[in-house]
Amino acid sequence: MPDPKTDNPSACFAEFIADRDFPCLGAKSALANGGIRVIAARDLTSGWNDLAIHRALIDWAHSYRDDPSGFRSLVVIFDGPGDLDEKQFEAALWDRLQSLADKDAWKGMDYDPRVCADPRNPHFSLSFAGEAYFVVGLHPRASRPARRFARPALVFNLHDQFERLRTSGRYERMRERILARDAELAGSVNPMLARHGEVSEAAQYSGRAVGPGWTPPFRDPRSA
């Protein structure tokens, strides 16, 4: 297995996804079809790479509009810190997302009208360059095995690809298979997973189990 401290982070992430027990079938499909782009960054608790990450999100949104076929993910892998507990990781994740949202608003980007900017709303999603994104956080001390990666990482998934799955009638079947695989890996069903529109997806981003009254430390400048 690659050593995350010395080897290419792209290779480490590819091996993580390719593992036979990794539950997310969408990620496996993206990997198999060249739909994963990895960006290396310094420190999850620092804004050092935020401008570069935001530029990549804009480019990713534009390229998806040009060709919306297949699964794809933009993955930001940070050098560290590797010792954050789940609460610390959650706080750092939202710091980065707040910084990215602030930059999107400052550049005058429209919010994707298909989703809501209020993280308390069941239809909440992040928006960069007018395209909605769902984020999956990974880190070494995650309680769920599927979220336990050797380095802190943020996986940005375009919301529209899930909506296309729903339109084609494939979403529910894939979701059931992923949930079953995740339960087999972890020994229990992930209590945080929910469909978009039932509860705010913000509670799912970091991977930490939170209660029904939880709200993230986040406010998009474009929210009403």
Q: Is the pLDDT of residue 3 over 60?
A: no
- Identify which of 5, 100, 86 has the alpha carbon closest to the alpha carbon of residue 47: 100
Please state the pTM of the whole predicted model: 0.94
pLDDT of residue 133: 97
Distance of CA 221 to the CA centre of its chain: 21
- Please tell me the distance from the alpha carbon of residue 14 to that of residue 167, in angstroms, as a whole number: 29
Strands (E), 4-130: 36-43, 73-80, 126-128
pLDDT of residue 164: 87
pLDDT of residue 199: 83
Task: Read off the pLDDT of each residue in 9-32 and give the average, rounded to a whole number.
Answer: 95
pLDDT averaged over the chain? 92
136: how many CB neighbours lie within 10 A of its CB?
19
212 pLDDT band, cuts 50/70/90, is confident
For residue range 108-154, what is the model confidence (pLDDT) as tens digits? 999 999 999 999 999 999 999 999 999 999 999 999 999 999 999 99
pLDDT of residue 4: 47
- Identify which of 79, 76, 77 has the alpha carbon closest to the alpha carbon of residue 57: 76
For residue range 172-184, what is the model confidence (pLDDT) as tens digits? 899 899 989 999 9
